[in-house]
Amino acid sequence: MLSALVAGLATGAVFAATALAYNVMFSTSKVLSVTTGHLPMLGGVAGAYVIAGLGLPWWLGLLAAMGTGALFGLLTELVAIRRVLARSDEHLWLLSTLALATMVQQAVGLWWGTEPRPFPRLIPQDFSAGLADQKFWLPIALAVAMAGGLELFYSRTMAGKLFVAMSEDAFAARARGIPTDRIRVASYALAGALGGLAGFAAGQLTFAYFALGLTLTLNGFIALAVGGLGSNVGALIGGFALGLLNALASYWFGGEYQQTIAVGLLMVVLLVKPEGLLGSKQVRPV
Amino acid sequence: MSAEHRRLGLAALLALGAATLPFWAADQYQLHLATLIAAYWVLIGGLNLVVGYAGQLSIGHVGLLSIGAYAFAILAGKAGLHPALAVAASGALCGIAGLLLGLPSLRLPGFYFAMATMAVALIVGEVVLAQGELTGGGVGLPVPGFPAPFDSPAGFYWLTAAAAAVVTWLTWNVARRMQGRGLIAIRDSVVTAQAVGVPVLGAKLRAFVFSGVCAGVGGSLFAALQSYITPDTFHFELSLFFFVCIIIGGRGGILGPFLGVVVLTALPELVSPLAKLGNFFYGLLLLAVVLVVPEGIGRVFELVAARLKPRPVESVPVQPDLPRLARALRSNR
Amino acid sequence: MFHLLRLPRKLAASLALACIATLAQANDVIRIGWLSSLTGPLSSAAQAENQGVQLAVAEINAAGGINGRKLELLTRDTAGDPTKAVNLAQQLAFSEKVHFIIGPVNSGEGLGATPVIARAGVPNLVIGALEELTDPVKYPRAFRLINTNRQWISTANNYALKTLKRSRIALIGDTTGYGTASAKTATEMLEAAGVKPVYTVLVDPNKTDLTDELAKARAAGADVIMPWSAATGLVGRLLNARGDMGWNVPVVGHTALMAPQIRKLLNKPEYWENVVAAGYASTTFGADGKLPPATAALMEKVRSRIAPGGGEIELLFWWVAMGYDCVKVIEHAVKAAGGTDPAAIQKALENTRELRGVFANYSWSPTDRNGFPDGDMVPNIANTLRDGAFKLAR
């Protein structure tokens, strides 16, 4: 039972980290990118490749994971977001990010192979550590640190305040002389680096596996929608709740109805409280 | 008006070609592909109203296809119902499923809706596997064919093509009447649509339920064509394929998505390197279309046609009523 | 765009070629369709089989063909997608008019494609393990070379019940099509042997941790774990959880347990100990440490192809052997039937007894389409993988 809870929290942490990456990109562009779940996937694959494949030290693997994520974030902004935002059609970004997500997953599958591959041990620790194993607490600690760090970043630093200004009202921010385009690019790179970092930290849990992306895109989004779009604490709560629910569902009922239960949760929350647990009601249709 | 005529002519030509296909198709394989395209089109024709007209990005229609296919296989196979009744029943079932899915999820904004439909597709897959008693679980189910005269490849092709034609006719009727205009208004701006009195949720829901019925009928025909269905048949990429066909063909039209289905089904069969790249190719095509011609490939042909056509230079002679003008100027002074 | 423009010309050219070809080839070339999932999920088995198929075709052609008729191999990549497999089966049967079809590789694809091939009347060599793929009445020209799923399961069951003498079984399947189907069959077969599993569970193949499932199995008093899953990631996690718990319970089950990828997924190499999977006599080292002579000979022939530099073979060699045998069975059938007439081929294969292949010795009969004999299946010790083959589990 306890191990189900810990494993659930760890999986939930990956969902939470994905939800945080969604938030960072959403704050500056009002776009929910389908590529978000692929950022951790890329981080995991890049880390495994650099450390296990090339035999380089772990910190280079970490850099590679974050760098790959950031690069892909930049690419997303450049290819799928920037040109599309210039048009007023609000659906196009869904199509362009979906296209990019499909492409990156297929490309990684062709290069890396379609079987999951191992992720190396990061900290020397015996495998008999049980629930204290790093594969559980690394992602949990990271997700909490990421949420805290983002909150600090938004409230304490100038750059963070610019993000907030843009998320409140991009036009007003622009009118105040904030270089909104550059801020948006920065936010995508930041989200990419954070997503890559999350994939790196969770690598031992998930293995380096090409098909991870779409699952995380969906589950990260459920965490986000449950917790409330735009809220970092909400993302954290939503992620952990979803992870626990998954684990308990599979503990009590077996793995057959895992998705059904998780998605059932999403639908219920959206019906009862469409803005999520901690989201703010922002109705601005015109 | 002439453009409209030309389009009608083209459609008639296509219809003629499609109706006589069993006579000029080189072999049964080509006939099979054509039947597959027609079965896909039964679903995509309905989905087109949701995606192309109402702009609701459903990426989970494979779930409805799967419900339709399994319903048909179970009703016509295990329960021994007449296939025609089974098709009707699975169409009705998928319509209800569409209603149940659409009622909560169509209220949601774009991305939420897309994710909800995707999630439903995953749930359907999971339930199909878990309910092994009914669905055969991982082993799947054999699907009975249709009785004579639809038991031959050509006969079944005509049946499927007829269903596709009916769906096309229905969507065409919807598209050019109030309903279709209303859906386009919703796609382009919900607020404007509301302001001019379009019942937003009702219109979306009607389109979605219709697409559900189409998915049920399409799923039945697809299953009968495949003759055996397993959960592996209904993978998520198939959903993506339907969706991409419409977007690439062009939103807000019928001919464009139809060409999209034909090309995207036939091309990977003819050019094997494309089959290997599979989804990468779909992704690339989707990205290219979104970035370069968001209106779809169909629009490219129109643009090229307009560019090629010599435009008659109209001169509009201006003949002001000079005395009146002069009077007006004078009186103002 | 260029492809679109070039397509008609290409098509015309290929059509013309096809016309000329059919005229010239009607009596000359034996056309073999090969439905292989070279990309997509579970591509590793197909790629290994492809090596065997290609080698056999090249060998036969170099020796002057079968009765003077050369072989032509038409490989089609199904990418593991049943719909594509059905399309390509139609293409091979009706458009390319092949004489034989090998495949498809995955059972899921086979369930759709086999009826199509049967309707076309083309002799079909089945290499999927699911029972439903052969049926002397429905698919009279489909002959199976690989073992059936039941043979896999019964080999593992026999080892657990008779050799290990353990009967408190924990059954673990995954939630994919293959996993659920196999778990069900395994339960039935165990119950037929008078054993009721003490614990049964189906797990999502991407579940990150299996400690719970194993803890529950342990609490239920299990003394042997039997996983039926083809997902290497899941199997790797299962063995890791067992090792991390320090529970030295034997694991007996599906061949995925001894896939080369598993070795890399394990936390420690010793976690692979005490693991037994259903394997093949043809790729099992004898008491003298040697492989059967036919296997060893084939291995030396393909070593340069599948192990660059002539080193150790890093894939499961039985796939290669089976692919090789598929073409050899075609050779046998054509020789016995004196041509490629489908009905004569069916007759020839129905009357085949004890055909010596590398992978197994095949026998088919008018009422039995499963050519793989029970005796050619043996339990293997998973971590003895060396050069594509294993040691026998006693």
In this prediction, residue C17 carries a pLDDT of 47
What residues of chain A lie within 8 A of the CB of C181, using their CB? Answer: none
Higher pLDDT, B234 or C17: B234
The C-alpha atoms of residue B234 and residue B220 are separated, in whole angstroms, by 13
B265-279, B286-300, C194-208, C226-240: least confidently modelled range: B265-279
**Cα–Cα dist A18/A69, whole Å:** 12
Provide the pLDDT for residue A93. Answer: 86
Average pLDDT over residues B184-213: 88
Quick one: DSSP state of residue C392?
E
| Phi then psi dihedrals of residue C226, to 5 deg | -120, 95
Q: Say whether the peptide bond before residue B109 is cis (omega within 30 degrees of 0).
A: no
Q: What pLDDT, on the 0 to 100 scale, is given for residue B248?
A: 85
- How sure is the predictor about B313, in pLDDT bands with cuts at 50, 70 and 90? low
Of A98-112, A118-132, A253-267, C61-75, the one with minimum mean pLDDT is A253-267
Q: Identify the band that residue C360 occupies on the pLDDT scale cut at 50, 70 and 90.
A: very high
Percentage of the residues of chain B whose pLDDT score is greater than 90: 31
Closest partner residue to B190 (CB to CB) among A32, A95, A285 is: A285
pLDDT, average across residues B238-260: 87
User: Do residue C212 and residue A118 have CB atoms under 8 angstroms apart?
Assistant: no
Domain-embedded: residue B254: no
Q: What's the complex ipTM? A: 0.83
* Residue B306 in contact with partner chain A when CB distance is under 8 A: no
Ranges A251-260, C77-86, C267-276, C285-294: which has the least confidence: A251-260
**A7 in reach of chain C (CB within 8 A):** yes
Q: Hey, what amino acid is at C25?
A: Q
How far apart CA A233 and CA A228 sit, in angstroms, is 9
Q: Report the pLDDT averaged over residues B292-304.
A: 76
- Which pLDDT does position C180 carry in this prediction? 84
A 59-98 residues with CB < 8 A to C: none
Judged by average pLDDT, the poorest of A155-169, B12-26, C23-37 is: C23-37
Distance from CA of C227 to the nearest CA of A (A): 15
Confidence of residue B312 (pLDDT cuts 50, 70, 90): low
Contact with chain C for residue A110, Cβ under 8 A: yes
Residue C384's Cβ-count burial label (10 Å; 0-12, 13-18, 19+) is middle
The mean of the pLDDT values for chain C is: 87
Instruction: Determine whether the interchain pair A250/C207 forms a contact, defined as Cβ–Cβ distance below 8 Å.
Output: yes
Residue B65 lies in a domain: yes
Contact B278 C40 (CB under 8 A): yes
Residue of C nearest to B138 (CA): C177
Residue B77 is assigned to a structural domain of this protein: yes
> Is B49 inside a domain boundary?
yes
In our burial notation (b when 16+ CB lie closer than 10 A, e otherwise), range C266-291 reads: bbeeebbebbbbbbbbbbbbeeeeeb
Interface test with chain A among B287, B289, B297, by most A beta carbons within 10 Å: B287
Average pLDDT over residues B3-9: 74
Which pLDDT score is estimated for C366?
Answer: 93
* pLDDT band for position C19 (cuts 50, 70, 90): very low
Q: Are C141 and C342 in contact (CB under 8 A)?
A: yes
User: What does the pLDDT read at residue C130?
Assistant: 87
How many CB pairs (< 8 A) connect A and C?
76
Q: Looking at the domain assignment, is residue B181 inside a domain?
A: yes
What pLDDT score does B192 carry? 84
Contact check, Cβ <8 Å, B28/C90: yes
C169–chain A nearest CA distance, Å: 17
* CB-based contact, C67 to chain B, within 8 Å: no
Is 90 exceeded by the pLDDT of residue B45? yes
Of C174, C233, C267, the CB nearest to A209: C233
Instruction: Report pLDDT for A234.
Output: 92
* C-alpha to C-alpha distance for C173 and C339, rounded to whole angstroms: 45
The pLDDT of residue B311 is: 63
Q: Is residue B257 part of a domain?
A: no
Look at residue C25 in the predicted model and tell me its pLDDT: 44
| Structure confidence by residue, pLDDT tens digits, B56-98 | 889 889 999 999 999 999 999 988 899 999 999 999 999 999 9
Structural domain count, chain B: 1
Higher per-residue pLDDT: B272 or B123:
B123
Whether C244 sits inside 8 A of A115 (CB atoms) is no
SS3 B34: helix
Mutate to test the interface with B, among A31, A217, A259, A269 (most CBs of B within 10 A): A259
Chain A hits for B260, Cβ within 8 Å = none
CATH architecture, range C150-285+378-392 = 3-Layer(aba) Sandwich (3.40)
Which position has the token pair 């009721």?
Answer: C196
A88 pLDDT band (50/70/90 cuts)?
A: low
Mean pLDDT of chain B: 86
Q: Which chain B residues are within 8 Å of A284, Cβ to Cβ?
A: none
All structural domains of chain C with their residue ranges: 2-147+317-374, 150-285+378-392
How many Å lie between the alpha carbon of A37 and the closest alpha carbon of chain B? 13
Confidence at B297, pLDDT banded by 50, 70, 90: confident
**Which of C174, C212, C265, C271 is the best substitution to test chain A (most A C-beta atoms within 10 A)?**
C212
For residue C358, pLDDT beyond 70? yes
Hey, do C2-147+317-374 and C150-285+378-392 end up sharing a CATH topology, with the first three levels equal? yes
pLDDT-derived band at C250 (thresholds 50, 70, 90) equals: very high
DSSP string, B175-213: HHSHHHHHHHHHHH-HHHHHHTT--HHHHHHHHHHHHHH
Mean pLDDT of C292-303: 91
Instruction: Give the pLDDT band of residue A73 (cuts 50, 70, 90).
Output: very high
Please report the pLDDT score of residue C377 as a whole number: 92
Residue B273, pLDDT above cutoff 70: no
What pLDDT shows up at residue A281? Answer: 58
Pick the range with the lowest mean pLDDT from B127-141, B154-168, B197-211. Answer: B127-141
Which of B111, B134, B277, B297 to mutate to test binding with chain A, by most A CBs within 10 Å of its CB? B111
Tokens of A52: 């296990």
**Between A180-201 and A38-48, two packed helices, what is the crossing angle to 10 degrees?**
60
Closest chain B residue by Cα to residue A83: B291
- Count of CB atoms situated within 10 Å of the CB of A279: 19
Q: Is B64 helix (H, G, I), strand (E, B) or coil?
A: helix
> Looking at CA atoms only, how far is residue A14 from chain B in angstroms?
18
Domains belonging to chain A, first-starting first, are: 2-114+135-272 (1.10.3470)
Tokens of A167: 């998320």
A229-238, B283-292, C52-61, range with the lowest pLDDT = B283-292
* Residue type, position B197, single letter: G
Q: Which of A80, A92, A221 sits opposite B294 (nearest CB)?
A: A92
pLDDT of residue A91: 72
From the list A96, A263, A285, which residue is nearest B291 (CB)?
A96
pLDDT the model gives residue C6: 42
Option in B59, B105, B129 nearest A256 (CB)? B129
Q: How far is B275 from chain C (nearest CA, A)?
A: 8
Residues in chain B within 8 Å Cβ distance of C83? 36, 226, 233, 238
For C148-186, write each residue's pLDDT tens digit.
999 999 999 999 999 999 989 999 998 877 888 888 899
SS (H, E, C) A238-260: HHHHHHHHHHHHHHHHCHHHHHH
Specify the higher pLDDT residue, C195 or A256. Answer: C195
- Residue range(s) defining the domain that contains residue B65: 27-234
List the single range of A170-174, A255-259, B209-213, B308-312 with lowest mean pLDDT.
B308-312
Q: What is the distance between the alpha carbons of residues C371 and C364, in angstroms, rounded to a whole number?
A: 5
Tens digit of each residue's pLDDT (9 = 90 or more) over A220-237: 999 998 888 888 999 999
Instruction: Give a yes or no: residue B107 inside a domain.
Output: yes
Q: How far is CA B92 from CA A208, B40, B134, C108, C367, in A?
A: 43, 18, 19, 28, 43
**Yes or no, beta carbons of A259 and B126 under 8 Å apart:** yes
Structure confidence at residue A90 as a pLDDT band (50, 70, 90): low
C319-335 pLDDT, tens digit per residue, is: 999 999 999 999 999 99
Bigger pLDDT: C308 or B241?
A: B241
- Model pLDDT for residues C86-97, shown as the tens digit of each residue: 999 999 999 889
Angstroms from A91 CA to nearest CA on chain C: 27
Least confident stretch, A5-14, A119-128, A156-165, C328-337: A119-128
Peptide bond into C104 cis (omega under 30): yes
pLDDT digits (tens, 9 = 90+) for A134-152: 889 999 999 999 999 999 9
Compute the distance between CA of residue C128 and CA of residue C109 in angstroms, rounded to an integer. 9
DSSP string, C202-237: EE-TT-S--HHHHHHHHHTT-SEEEEE---HHHHHH
Confidence class of residue C41 from pLDDT cuts 50, 70 and 90? low
Report if residue B291 sits inside a domain: no
B123, B124, B226: best mutation site toward chain C, by most C Cβ within 10 Å? B226
| Contact status of C132 with chain B (Cβ, < 8 Å) | yes
> CATH homologous superfamily of domain C2-147+317-374?
Response regulator (3.40.50.2300)
DSSP conformation letters of C274-332: TEEEEEEGGGEE-TTS---HHHHHHHHHHHHHHSGGG----S-HHHHHHHHHHHHHHHH
